[in-house]
């Protein structure tokens, strides 16, 4: 379902943000001139035989260990979805686009607690050139996601990876 039509049908306030096509939420933030911490990204996660939609700040990475604890699934069977799985689940979206409303696709949604601290968030829709600004509380009401802490800042993850590489050399 087209996200804009869904929001209109629910009478929810939102603002459409058209920008240059973006292949990531970080690029969407830059193209729309919005701080990255206000931009949410949605990531499809395979958990055993099912999928879960994780919504988190664009300035963070998913910690699959923490996410597996939050959903009660062993970490050994939790992974990011493949491109083919994305195309299958989100057939009404441009390739690679993952909308943040799992409910529309029959998916449980998990939102990182850090987003709940914001008044307004910017979300992706069905295309790479469209963002939507809406109140977090409206997103919470419509989607009713499970709230959990399952991320780490990108900067911290980058430092850990860099340090690991150095220790191997």
4-40 pLDDT per residue, tens: 899 999 999 999 876 555 555 555 555 555 655 778 9
What are the residues whose beta carbons fall under 8 Å from the beta carbon of 155, sequence distance 6 or more?
none
* Mean pLDDT calculated for residue range 93-120: 91
- Residues 73-88 have pLDDT tens digits of 999 999 999 999 999 9
Residue 127 belongs to what domain range? 3-168
CB-neighbour burial class of residue 161 (10 A; exposed 0-12, middle 13-18, buried 19+): exposed
Q: Give the CATH number of the domain where residue 123 resides.
A: 3.90.960.10
pTM comes to: 0.81
Number of folded domains in the chain? 1
Q: Does position 169 have pLDDT exceeding 60, yes or no?
A: no
Question: How far out from the chain centre does Cα 139 lie?
Answer: 13
CA distances from 15 to 22, 80, 133, 148, 159 (A): 18, 30, 5, 27, 36
Q: What is the pLDDT of residue 52?
A: 97
Give the span between the Cα atoms of 5 and 1, in whole angstroms.
8
């Amino acid at each position: 379902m087209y996200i804009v039509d869904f929001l209109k049908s629910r009478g929810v306030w939102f603002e459409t943000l058209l920008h240059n096509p973006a292949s990531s939420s970080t690029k969407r933030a830059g193209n729309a001139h919005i701080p990255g911490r206000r931009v949410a990204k949605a990531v499809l996660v395979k958990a055993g035989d099912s999928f879960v939609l994780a919504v988190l700040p664009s300035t963070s990475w998913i910690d699959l260990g923490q996410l597996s604890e939050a959903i009660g699934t062993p970490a050994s069977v939790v992974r990011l979805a493949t491109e083919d799985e994305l195309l299958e689940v989100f057939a009404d979206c441009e390739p690679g686009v993952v909308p943040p409303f799992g409910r529309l696709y029959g998916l449980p949604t998990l939102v990182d607690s850090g987003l709940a601290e914001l008044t307004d968030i910017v979300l992706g829709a069905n295309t790479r050139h469209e963002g939507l600004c809406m109140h977090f509380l409206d997103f919470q009401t419509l989607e009713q996601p499970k709230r959990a802490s399952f991320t780490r800042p990108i900067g911290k993850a980058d430092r850990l990876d860099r340090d690991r590489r150095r220790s191997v050399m």
